[in-house]
Amino acid sequence: MQNNKRSNLFTRIENWFKERIDVYEILDSFSSLTGFLYTELDKRLDIKDAIEKALKKPVPKHVNWMFCFGGITFLLFIVQIGTGILLALYYKPSPENAYESIQYIMNEVRLGWLIREVHAWSANLMILALFFHMLRVFFYGAYKSPRELNWIAGIFLMFITLTFGFTGYLLPWDQLSYWATTVGTEIAGGIPWMGKYILYVMRGGENITGTTLSRFYTLHVIVLPWVAAVFLGTHFLMIRRQGISGPL
């Protein structure tokens, strides 16, 4: 009875759409258009082989769910790029405007609050997934020869990810950001011998000012994404070359 009601509702919705637009016809013409484009591209670039090679590579039997954490970390990184670009459309990196532009994103921009929350949550989840990925690699001994270089590339990726988090934290330019950056840079300042120079370079002076905000913003949206792309490319190339490590 319940099921019958539900299927009636679906049929009515389907009919409503059918009377107005023929979804199936649109889908049909879309697939023949993409099919046409694909055939023409393939004639010139011979991409079919490369795509088949990439997609039809068999997954070894010992690979289980724990091998997913690297991929999840990467997926969250892509989410960060997408939501980060959307936030950058409205964020203003200056001491006078930063805080207000965040308020504007939260209260005025359509779905701005959601984009910002997804960016913040995905940043935290990325660090969590990264941590589980490292644990998996460590306990499977996947860092051993011939994958030592990939472990080292991974260490760079870990620092890049943490620096993304640290630099991003200052950008809202509120009390929490200000004091977190004060503490963070002071910790770096405690390094023997060169600590005070590091602190000076990080802050762009003695104190946290607009210069610090500019530096952190530049790192967060220009330098780190490109450096991460290079290390991710290297990481994936090496995985492709060496294949996934064996069973325990």
Do the beta carbons of residue 167 and residue 219 sit within 8 Å? Answer: yes
Q: Which residues contact 235 (CB under 8 A, 6 or more apart)?
A: 150, 153, 154, 157
Shortest Cβ 113–ligand HEM spacing (Å):
27
Rounded Cα distance between 32 and 12, Å, is 28
Chain residues 104-133 in contact with ligand HEM, contact rule CB under 6 A = 130, 133
Do the beta carbons of residue 137 and residue 244 sit within 8 Å? Answer: no
Which CB atom, from 64 or from 175, has the smaller least distance to ligand HEM?
64
Structure tokens at 200: 């000076």
Structure tokens at 226: 């490109």
Chain residues 75-104 in contact with ligand HEM, contact rule CB under 6 A = 77
Number of residues that bind ligand HEM (CB under 6 A): 28
Chain residues 225-244 in contact with ligand HEM, contact rule CB under 6 A = 232, 235, 239, 244
User: Could you tell me which stretch among 4-12, 40-48, 101-109, 149-157 binds ligand HEM (CB under 6 A)?
Assistant: 149-157
User: Could you tell me which stretch among 11-19, 85-93, 95-103, 138-146 binds ligand HEM (CB under 6 A)?
Assistant: 138-146
212 binds ligand HEM (CB under 6 A): no
Chain residues 159-188 in contact with ligand HEM, contact rule CB under 6 A = 161
Rounded Cα distance between 63 and 49, Å, is 25
Do the beta carbons of residue 215 and residue 31 sit within 8 Å? Answer: no
Structure tokens at 220: 């967060």
Q: Which of 38, 74, 104, 132 binds ligand HEM (CB under 6 A)?
A: 74
Q: What are phi and psi of 138, to 5 degrees?
A: -65, -50
**Interface ranges with ligand HEM (CB under 6 A):** 67, 69-71, 73-74, 77, 130, 133-134, 136-137, 140, 142-143, 147, 150-151, 154-155, 157-158, 161, 232, 235, 239, 244-245
